[in-house]
């Protein structure tokens, strides 16, 4: 599953993206995730073709725009809760990605 994380400049999310990758590997989930800055949103949606977009807390003021653009192409867009935007929040973020993508996974209630 491809996930695009949108943050302010594409740099601050590196630690969180790496934590999500590590947690996905630990759980055996096929998640490919990249981060981009707000200006690169449209280009990354076109080129990377994610199945879900997650929006970092520092750009929540742009969420309505990302959601509107996602709705045009049936692309789910979710905000990352502030308390999950840490390396320790990776399991919570993955759980939200799974819910949003409607994946058929037996039991991730412990995530």
SS3 3: strand
Given a contact cutoff of 8 angstroms between Cβ atoms, the answer to whether 86 and 20 are in contact is: no
- C-alpha–C-alpha distance, residues 84 and 103, integer Å: 21
Q: What is the pLDDT of residues 47-88, one digit of tens each?
A: 999 999 999 999 999 999 999 999 999 999 999 989 899 888
- Give the pLDDT band (50/70/90) at residue 99: confident
């Amino acid at each position: 599953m491809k996930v695009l994380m949108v943050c302010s400049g594409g740099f601050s999310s590196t630690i969180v993206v790496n934590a999500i990758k590590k947690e996905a590997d630990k759980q055996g989930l096929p998640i490919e995730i990249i981060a981009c800055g707000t200006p690169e949103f449209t280009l990354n949606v076109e080129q990377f073709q994610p199945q879900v977009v997650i929006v970092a807390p520092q750009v929540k003021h742009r969420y309505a725009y990302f959601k509107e653009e996602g709705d045009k192409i049936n692309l789910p867009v979710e905000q990352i809760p502030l308390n999950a935007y840490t390396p320790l929040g990776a399991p919570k973020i993955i759980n939200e990605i799974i819910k949003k993508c409607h994946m058929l996974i037996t039991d991730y209630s412990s995530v």
